[in-house]
Structure 1
Amino acid sequence: MDVTGLRIALFSGNYNYVRDGANQALNRLVGYLLRQGAQVRVYSPTTSTPAFEPAGDLVSAPSFPMPGRGEYQVPYRMSARLRRDITAFAPNLIHVSSPDPLGHRAVSYARKRNLPIVASVHTRFETYPRYYGLAFLEPLMVAALRRFYRRCDALVAPSDSMAQVLRDQRMSYDIGIWTRGIDREIFNPGRRDMEWRRSLGIPDDLPVIGFTGRLVMEKGLDVFSDAIDLLQARQVRHRVLVIGDGPARSWFENRLPDATFLGFQQGQDLGRAVASMDMLFNPSVTETFGNVTLEAMACALPAVAARATGSECLVTDGVTGRLIRPGAINQFADALQHYCTDAESRHRAGLEGKMEADRYGWDQVNQALVDTYLRIVRQRQRGAMAAASPVP
């Protein structure tokens, strides 16, 4: 079999109703699969106001708003209508991208029909409780995730560091890499626009510290704010530029009253905003890859990031930026101060980051996942089953 023989049913908790790095990667994947001649059908919650048009055929799954985070939908079951649609589509491979109730039902559906299952890991869900005072739940979440992933034939992680975390957690016996690519037309140093910066009231010689991402507490907004407080106390000249929106925006604006908040940006506007920063500060530990870090590096910016799975695979400490122990406020402030006050080091690290980012292209990384699909399908055709698991 080659790629044209693939019929993939993709299950997602959020394919296009709220924009994030995970669903943009999934949409790029589907677009690539369709261009290569594969058949794909996507099952996900939908809304009347999606963030962007979906790639491929999207079938709406029954869902309800997530408690406390109403912008997200929880797909809670596989309805009879969905089951009929999946059966009519007749997939020969199931791809699940979220361990939600629909993902569990999709895995059960596939196992009953002896269909191969590939799961992609996009978020470190087990780390979320610590941001809401519920850290004691983390071991329970790890156990629940292990039960889900061990029922799949293979996992794909976006980085070597995340793959190792999954191995250490004993999530699967077959873990591959599906990394992320970069759109070099949008993210490149040529997008830097000093006139645009001036329109925001930013002098040319004032270093800009950027934050890019969805404004939710699990992105480390508290750590970001505390480090900026230290810079201000040390009287280090800088301006904070925030790109993104989300439920914690009001909290973040109150916490950083001197920052410039651009809200949600996309396309060429996003590329201009990122390239017009002087460094990226990404304290989050929840990402499995770090799309925003790669985008900043592609624009020749140094990255100051938490030493966590989302950044360890991208940032070379002391070369393309700094990797700091998660939550180490003083060390984050030290790294930011260094780049704010040493333009030569900032420029040198940015150039090194640009060279690293040039290695990432979307077609290459998506083809790696296609190769995994084909390998798993061929294994099943030869009669091989998923590696033995204690979970039925």
Structure 2
Amino acid sequence: MRVLHVLDHSLPLHSGYTFRTRAILKAQEALGLEVRGITGQRHDAQGPAMEEADGLTFHRTPGRPSGPPGVREWREIGALARQIEQVAAQWRPDLLHAHSPALCGMAAARAARGLGLPLVYEIRAFWEDAAVGNGEGREGSLKYRLTRALENRVVARAEAVVTICAGLKADLVARGVDPARIALSPNGVDFALFGDPPPPDAALAASLGLTGADAGPVIGFIGSFYPYEGLDVLIEAMPLLLAREPGARLILVGGGPADAALRERAAASPVAAAIHFTGRVPHADVERWYALMDIMAYPRKASRLTELVTPLKPLEAMAQGKLVAASAVGGHRELVSDGVTGSLFAPDDPAACAAALAALAARRDRWTETRAAARAHVRAHHDWAVNARRYLPVYQAAVENRLKRSAFATRGATNAPGP
């Protein structure tokens, strides 16, 4: 079976979105499927019209989004739909698999109708909620409601719908979508990418003052600095943590919209010397920073976005044998079993965050057990080599449903009364 994946952006750009896409396509290839990707106009990396990245083939949509709001998005949909049709005419896919946002889904729905192909639509997050979480939108605004309505329209047109977690599925069911039409494909990791972790870089550790008998634990976060990630809560927790663990240090790796505000907050902290910002680092260097960290902290704030959506980073951390402390929002509760595979604490609460980190630090005798339980959980439930198989019955059902609809339409036309 040939599957054309319709995407917002892809490799060689690096993001949680592109890493999930890479994992899906690689795992599907291993299962014997032929796969390609096509990106819309928001993929802003320079490159050829057809590009290979990490052994995967991606087609690009020419042009850049332009025009006033509303018109711009409609033009994007049209441009991507036309490009899907052109690629399909040459490559002949059996199915279109569109991934959120809804602009990709609507373009794929338009193209699927013209090509007579089945459509599977995968929702990784509700992008109206993501816009609120990023500080780029307001819940209940006209744009918010229009985005939600567009997504509902795509869902109605798709043969099948896939979500990454139970929270998103429950929200769709509450909107009236038949749960039988919704499959789950949870976030996962490619264990082929996670061998034995490298030893800590002694020179890097020394440059940060992480040496000595009383050093540690090292608390870490690696990712994008968005307001909903709650890194301000983590910074506020550090004085309370150091009161119990004087050698504790915090390393924040990455950047994003909240970067400047977080640096200002850290500089004003009474334990500013214990908080280190690295800025963005090359993807190839991320493992060096992971190797320095004992506990990965994910203090996401409570919101619709964080309650409904499961993140990828905690799974990657557990796969690498790291301890995980996370706020008890819905997205984290689906991934972490408190006291077994990690630690959960009340969101938006620096004292609760500090207490959880201090409790983990104090239980060094259980670190090996907790790390092993977390890694085993990820391998059992979030390994892409296994989870990619979830798509196979979804694809088969979508193809069969499309054939039934085509046959019904044909019979209807045949039996229609003459002039």
Into which bin does the TM-score normalised by the smaller protein fall?
0.7 to 0.9
Q: What CA distance in whole angstroms lies between the structure 2 residues aligned with 1:326 and 1:347?
A: 26
The worse-fitting range, judged by mean Cα deviation, of 77-86 and 147-156 is: 77-86
- Consecutive unaligned residues in structure 2, runs of 5 or more: 408-419
The partner residue of 1:379 within 376, 381, 401 is 401
Q: What is the CA-CA distance between 1:163 and the residue it aligns to? A: 3.1
* Residue pair 2:253, 2:278 contacting (<8 A) in 1 also: yes
CA distance in structure 1 between the aligned counterparts of 2:388 and 2:15, rounded to whole angstroms: 18
Aligned to 1:181: 188
| Residue equivalent to 2:36 | 40
Q: 2:387 aligns with which of 346, 365, 369?
A: 365
Check whether the contact 1:93–1:377 (CA below 8 A) recurs between aligned residues: yes
Q: Which residue of 2 aligns with 1:297?
A: 318
Structure 1, unmatched stretches of 5+, are 1-5, 68-72, 386-392
Alignment CA distance shift 1:37-1:321 (3 Å): closer
Q: How big is each residue's C-alpha offset from its partner over 1:63-113, in whole Å with a ceiling of 9 and x where there is no partner?
A: 33999xxxxx99823324554334444433111112343431221232354
Q: Sort the Cα spacing of 1:210 and 1:352 in 2 relative to 1 into closer, same or farther, 3 A.
A: same
How many equivalent pairs are there?
374
Distance 1:18 1:247 in 2: 18
Which of 113-122 and 58-67 deviates more? 58-67
Q: CA RMSD in A?
A: 3.4
More displaced stretch, 209-218 vs 154-163: 154-163
Taking a change above 3 Å as real, the CA distance of residues 374 and 266 of structure 1, as seen in their structure-2 partners, is: farther
CA distance in 1, matches of 2:188, 2:238: 30
The 5-angstrom pairing of residues 338-353 of structure 1 reads 338-353=359-374
**Residues 1:261 and 2:243 are matched in the alignment:** no
Cα deviation, residue 364, structure 1: 1.6
CA distance in 1, matches of 2:388, 2:74: 27
CA offset digits 1:316-353 (Å, max 9, x no partner)? 01212222343233322221221233323444432321
Q: Tell me, what secondary structure is at the counterpart of 2:96?
A: strand
Cα pair distance change 1:12/1:61, threshold 3 Å: farther
Residues 189 and 298, structure 1, Cα contact 8 Å, conserved in 2: no
Q: 2:221 aligns with which of 205, 211, 231?
A: 211
How far the C-alpha of 1:181 sits from its partner, in A, is 3.1
Aligned-pair distance for 1:311?
A: 2.0
SS of the counterpart of 2:107?
Answer: helix
Q: How many Å apart are 1:315 and its aligned residue?
A: 0.5
The farther-off stretch of 288-297 and 259-268 is 259-268
Shift of 1:34: 4.1
SS in 1 for 2:313: helix
Residue 291 of structure 1 deviates from its aligned partner by 1.7
Question: 2: distance between equivalents of 1:312 and 1:61?
Answer: 41
The equivalent of 2:61 in structure 1 is 60
Partner Cα distance (1:201, 1:57) in 2: 44
Runs of 4+ in 1 over 6 A off after TM superposition: none
Q: Secondary structure at the match of 1:56?
A: strand
- Corresponding position of 2:96: 94
Query: What TM-score do the two structures reach when normalised by structure 2?
Result: 0.76
1:344 counterpart SS class: helix
Report the CA distance shift for 1:235/1:32 in structure 2 as closer, same or farther (over 3 A).
closer
Check 1:347–1:166 CA distance in 2 against 1; reply closer, same or farther (3 A cut): farther
C-alpha contact (below 8 Å) 1:301/1:347 kept by paired residues: no
**1:389 aligned partner:** none
* Conservation of the 8 A alpha-carbon contact between 1:244 and 1:265: yes
Q: 1:238 to 1:271 in 2, by over 3 A?
A: same
Aligned counterpart, 2:238: 228
Deviates more, 1:333-342 or 1:230-239: 230-239
Q: CA deviation at 1:17?
A: 5.8
1:194 to partner: Cα distance: 5.7
State the match for 1:22 in structure 2. 17
Match status 1:329 vs 2:339:
no
Distance 1:263 1:185, change over 3 A: farther
In structure 2, the partner of 1:3 is none
Specify the code of the residue in structure 1 equivalent to 2:96.
I
The Cα of 1:189 is off from its aligned counterpart by 6.0
- Whether the aligned pair in 2 keeps the contact of 1:13 and 1:44 (CA below 8 Å) is yes
Structure 1 residues 206 and 317, CA gap change in structure 2 (3 angstroms)? same
Cα 1:95–1:295 change in 2 (3 A) is: same
Take 2:196 and 2:396, find their aligned partners in 1: how far apart are those partners?
Answer: 37
1:348–1:236 CA distance, 2 compared to 1 (3 A): farther
SS in 1 for 2:344: strand
- Tell me which amino acid in the other structure corresponds to 1:321: G
Distance 1:164 1:143 in 2: 17
**Larger radius of gyration between Structure 1 and Structure 2:** 2
1:279 to partner: Cα distance: 0.9
- For the residue of structure 2 that corresponds to 1:317, the secondary structure is coil
Structure with bigger helix share is 2
